[in-house]
Structure 1
C-alpha cells in the first residue's frame, strides 16, 4: 500500500460492540462533545487570565490558574479519546466548540477580581452540565463515561471553591 493511500484515511464513525447501542453511544458522544467544548473554552479562558492577571495577588493567581489550565489540558485529551472509544469523531475546531459550549469568551481586559469571578462561575457551569451527562451515562450503564465525568465534576467544584475562597471578604 502506498504512503499516499495510507495518508488519505479520514476519521469516521466506527462500529463498536461494547454493549451500548449505537443510538445510545451517539447520545453519550453528544454529551461528551459538549463537555469537550466547555473544557476547551474554559482552558482557553484560564490561559488568558493566567497570562494577563496583574495586581498584589499576581503570583498566587498566576500559579493557581497554571494548575487549573494544566488539569484542563489533560482533561481535553481524555474526553476526546472517550468520544473516539465510543466510535464517534471528536469535534476539534473553535467553530464546533462555539456551537456546543455555554462558556462565554472574555475579549476585554477584566480586573483580577472579575477574572476570578468568571472562572468560578464557569467551573460551576461545567459541573452543572456534567451532572446531566453523568445521569445519562449511568442510565445507559456506561460506567467509564460516568466515572470520567464524575471525576471532572469534582475537579470543577474544587476549582470553583478555591477561586471563591480568594473572593471571600
Structure 2
C-alpha cells in the first residue's frame, strides 16, 4: 500500500502556480478553483492575509478553503498556512502568496493523490510488527538459556 501510494503521488500529482484575480476561476485537474475574496485578519500574535477559495467538481462545491499568509511581528517572520481538503483518494492543497503589482494574487495549488494511503500503509506495517511479537516462535532467543562457559586459565 505504501509503495502504491508513493508511486501514485509521483505519477499523478497535479501542481499549478498562477496569478489569480478576485472572482476568477482556474482549472486544477478535474476541479475548478475560484478565488472569492482576500481579507486582512488579526490573529492572537500575528496578522494574516486570508483567502476565501471554493473548489468545485462538475459544478458541485467540494470544499471551501481558507489559506493564509501570516506575519509574526515579534519574530519578524512570515509563514504560509496551506488550506487542505482531505478525501479517501486525494488531498487538495491551496496556498495564497503575495499580492501582485498588476493586480491579483499568487496562488499555488496541488492535488496529491493517495497521500492518506501512505499513513495507512505505515499503520499496516506497524500492526504487522505488533502481531508478529505475539507469536513466541518468532521472538529472538525466546526461552533460551545461556550455557555457562567454563573458564580456561591463561598461561
TM-score, L = length of structure 2? 0.24
* Structure with greater strand percent: 2
Q: Larger C-alpha radius of gyration, 1 or 2?
A: 2
User: Larger relative contact order (C-alpha < 8 A, sep ≥ 6)?
Assistant: 1
